[in-house]
Amino acid sequence: MCAALTDLLGRASLFGELEPAELETLARAAEKREFARDEVIFAAHEPADGLYVLASGRVKVCVSSSGGKELILATLGPEQFFGEMALLDNEPRSASVIAQLPTVAYRIRRDDFERLIEQHPTIARKLMRELSLRLRRSNAQMESLATLDVVGRLARYFIDLARQHGQILGNGWVAVRRPTHQDIANSIGTSRETVTRLINDLEQRGLVVNEGKMSYLRESVLSGEEG
Ligand code: CMP
């Protein structure tokens, strides 16, 4: 099992510069966890048990109001990590993390994570870079929620989804596994019904093609022209 896991950890941006022997030590200490679609990996306000590195699948990071209304802050995919914030600030989990697809993740215990950060300044630097990137994306999401109408927010959502999780097919199209309309609605602050109606409009205009669980976007849309 260790070779595949060592490869995964080596590809994960955070641990990319560790020596093979160190990666193997880390792989031996990591615990494999498997989650079904919609399974809660952990909930906001729980105490922290470790850092997770995603091997496959996709998760959503979300917060909920007392009335049960959900806001999705981010979606994360293979080789990305989550669960670092509560380890860094010794506070409870800042958000819930829920599998959007069947997901496999490896959990690294708090003491292993802390030892790695202390021994490897490059890991600390990469962590800070990733936290900055996530803050930028959060700022962009706030800007989008505050300044764009729902059509603009949906266009921006698809562009970001394709940039972050899309597969370029090489024929002018980008493929992305489409989240449920409810999850899209919870990311852009609207209702599921509105998302369904607007996605139908995008399809009719030829900007998005939906087939089964996949959506296909024109690669040119990724350059920022929201159409
Ligand atoms: P933690 O607070 O331990 O648990 C929830 C995790 O969700 C958090 O660590 C981060 O890994 C992740 N997270 C929280 N907020 C965001 C965000 N705005 N963008 C991306 N990931 C986030």
Examine the domain organization and report whether 27 and 129 are in the same domain: yes
227 lies in some domain = no
At residue 224 the predicted structure's pLDDT band, cuts being 50, 70 and 90, is low
Of 116, 145, 174, at which residue does a domain stop? 145
Which atom in ligand 1 lies closest to the alpha carbon of residue 87?
Answer: 3
For residue 192, the enclosing domain spans 148-222
- For residue 77, the domain's CATH number is 2.60.120.10
Co-location of 24 and 125 in the same domain: yes
Is a pLDDT exceeding 50 seen at residue 226? no
Q: Is the pLDDT of residue 21 over 60?
A: yes
Pick the more confident residue, 204 or 225.
204
- 122 against 54, higher pLDDT: 54
* Together in a domain, 54 and 165: no
Please tell me the distance between residue 161's alpha carbon and the centre of ligand 1 in angstroms.
17
CA of 7 to the centre of ligand 1 (A): 24
**Last residue within a domain, chosen from 118, 145, 172:** 145
HEC secondary structure over the chain: CHHHHHHHHHHCHHHCCCCHHHHHHHHHHCEEEEECCCCEEECCCCCCCCEEEEEECCEEEEEECCCCCEEEEEEECCCCEECHHHHHHCCCCCCEEEECCCEEEEEECHHHHHHHHHHCHHHHHHHHHHHHHHHHHHHHHHHHHHHCCHHHHHHHHHHHHHHHHCEECCCCEEEEECCCHHHHHHHHCCCHHHHHHHHHHHHHCCCEEEECCEEEEEHHHHHCCCC
Task: Inform me whether the pLDDT recorded for 227 exceeds 60.
Answer: no
Count of structural domains, the chain: 2
- pLDDT by residue (tens digit) across 159-169? 999 999 999 99
Q: What is the mean pLDDT of the chain?
A: 91
Q: Has residue 63 been placed in a domain?
A: yes
Does one domain contain both 97 and 169?
A: no
Mean pLDDT on 94-114: 95
Q: Which of 145, 164, 190 is the last residue of a domain?
A: 145
Ranges 24-28, 114-118, 162-166, 194-198: which has the least confidence: 24-28
> What are the pocket residues of ligand 1 if the criterion is a CB atom closer than 6 Å to any ligand atom?
48, 61, 73-74, 82-86, 93-95, 97, 134, 138
Q: Using most ligand atoms within 8 A of CB, pick from 40, 64, 85, 136 the residue to mutate for ligand 1.
A: 85
pLDDT value for 2: 67
Which pLDDT band holds residue 120 (cuts at 50, 70, 90)? Answer: confident
